[in-house]
Chains A and B, each alone.
Chain A
Amino acid sequence: MSSPRILWRKSLNYVMLTLTGVAAFAVVSVLFLILGYLIWNGGTSLSLNFFTQLPKPVGETGGGMANAIVGSLKLLFLAAIMGLPVGLLAGVYLAEFGGKTFSFVVRYTTDLLNGVPSIVIGIFAYSLVVLPVKHFSALAGGVALGIMVIPITVRSTEEFLRAVPGNMREAAMALGASKWKTIATVVLPAASGGILTGMLLALARVAGETAPLLFTAFGNRFWSQGWGQPIASLPVMIYTYAVAPYDDWHRQAWAAGLVLLGLVLVSNLGARFILARTKAV
């Protein structure tokens, strides 16, 4: 009945389709491998000391990364107050006011800024903040991360504002509200869930950035002396500890990796959860 030609085509069909499934399975299993390995290695090294103590001097075992955890939070705070307002307002401009040519230029530049390698952003923050004062500082790290927050926030803000139905705007304007009142009291609140999600995702993304911090925030084995001084951060600590030749440092790097990944994944899941709930309403 079936000629060899058809048999060949059919078996090719099954083989190739199976291969695509195998590929998808392989990629997903990488995720579980990463998670599993990190939880296994990090979990066995994690202790209360990790969250409460400072790093011990080289050669002594034990100690923790309390300063790096606080440092990362401080850097994120700086990134948030510098990057989020710019991203939000520029997003509002693109969605509500923008003309044609200028908006196109802004949108294109935003995508471009989003694609700039993080290490280059580091160089930029270095020349902007570190070079003039001649020393590394938390502020410089915050500037680097803040710049990276902007493009992500702009695009998500614009997207969610555009998703607000036009008749809500029309209804507000028909009641006599001016344009900015419509935006501030009707459009923004309607899109707030999505906008907040976008901001959270932006912060989650820069929370794991290492390269732009290497020569801006630098690192610090003690509590930071202030915004103008070098500061420790979790990603940089992971890097320094992982490439160092001490076993105890490797254990701590795993623990820090677990904490960082937990932080990033939880905020990602949280953001998606908020989004799913706002969409359902």
Chain B
Amino acid sequence: MSAAASTIAHEVPPQAGPRAFLHRLRQGDEIAHLLTLTFAAVILLLTSMLVYELWRNSHLSRTQFGWAFFWTKVWDPNFDDFGAAPFIYGTLVTSAVALVLAVPLGLASAIFLSELAPRNVSDVISFLIDLLAAVPSVIYGLLGIFIVVPLMRTTIGPLLINTVGNLPYLGALFRGPNYGVGFLTAGIVLAIMVVPFIISVSREVLLTVPREQREAAMALGATRWESTWQVVVPWARTGIMGSIFLALARALGETMAVTMVIGNAAAIKASLLSPGDTIASTIANQFTEATGDLYLSSLIELGLVLFLITFILNGLARILIVATERGGGRPA
């Protein structure tokens, strides 16, 4: 009897102190803990190394050009003179075009999927849209080169020049020679690529809006559209903003599809029809041919700039989405 009691007492693990540690060590728990902890730490290590390597390898360019790197408009490898302004401009313009096209389309689709479509139809369509998000970017580039570029050159470009191009102010965006490649083409391809992200995140967020909100609006006599637009969408707006930020971060960093259709010219032009370059497309195009340390270093500094921009945007997007999903998204 007393022997049995002592075995039982022995098998109950002590709660604290060095003996407890030894016990867990013997059972393998501490080893498993440490092992998995190490691998979790590898992620932190990798990410810090990423930042460090970008910082270290862009040293030459940073000391040579300083802050002027951001507003210098010249990118001339022959004279070792490098400025990022044309590429920052190109990145912002193409992403802006993409968002102008993708946000209304994406938001409207998300509203249709969450508010109107029957649940099973909505699920099937969402599944198809998720597949769209899985298509590799080089394939979007392929379709861009062979479908969108010819279409821009022969149809859309001339049409825009002849109609919107004659308007004051706005017309400046659609003037000049039309090559088919350029900011607008890149923006269109980017829009097609980021729409799935806006739809799937916005739909999730819209589905979390409580039914009572819709019912209350309807009970007050609102039409379906009024209840959606004036009650449901404002409720979910933080999360929708999050989805847009996520899409923006992706558009800014997208490389292949843009590189293939933007025309590759380090120039700042007002016309959306003119060829340009983004940060990512410049790195993709010139990295392997970069001769000279300063050239390479400047390209790596471009990478650092791109990293910092997407870093900030992704952080903001996460915060917004988490805030909505916790119910903090309702209008104050």
Contact = CB atoms under 8 A, between A and B. Distances in A.
Interface of A: 9-10, 12-13, 16-17, 19-24, 26-28, 30-31, 34, 37-38, 41, 85-86, 89-90, 92-94, 96-98, 102, 105-106, 108-113, 115-124, 126-128, 131, 147, 150-151, 154, 176, 178-181, 183-184, 204-205, 207-211, 214-215, 218, 235, 238-239, 242-243, 250, 253-254, 257, 260-261, 264-265, 268-269, 272
A215 B287 contact: yes
B195 A261 contact: no
A110 B56 CA distance: 22
B101 to A, nearest CB: 11
Interface residues of B, number: 88
A17 B225 contact: yes
Dominant SS among interface residues on chain A: helix
Contacts of B28: 178, 180-181
B138 interface: yes
Dominant SS among interface residues on chain B: helix
Given A117-B254, A120-B303, A180-B27, A20 B112 contact: yes
B136 A261 contact: yes
**Shortest beta-carbon contacts, A-B, top 6:** A208-B136, A117-B253, A93-B36, A180-B32, A23-B108, A178-B27
Contacts, number: 262
A235 B138 contact: yes
Contacts of B280: 117, 119, 211
A210 to B, nearest CB: 4
B54 A124 contact: yes
B125 interface: yes
A36 B197 CA distance: 22
18 contacts: A20-B116, A93-B36, A97-B32, A117-B253, A117-B280, A124-B54, A178-B24, A180-B32, A180-B33, A184-B32, A205-B134, A207-B136, A209-B136, A214-B284, A238-B139, A242-B141, A265-B135, A272-B127
B117 A24 contact: yes
Contacts of A97: 32-33, 36-37
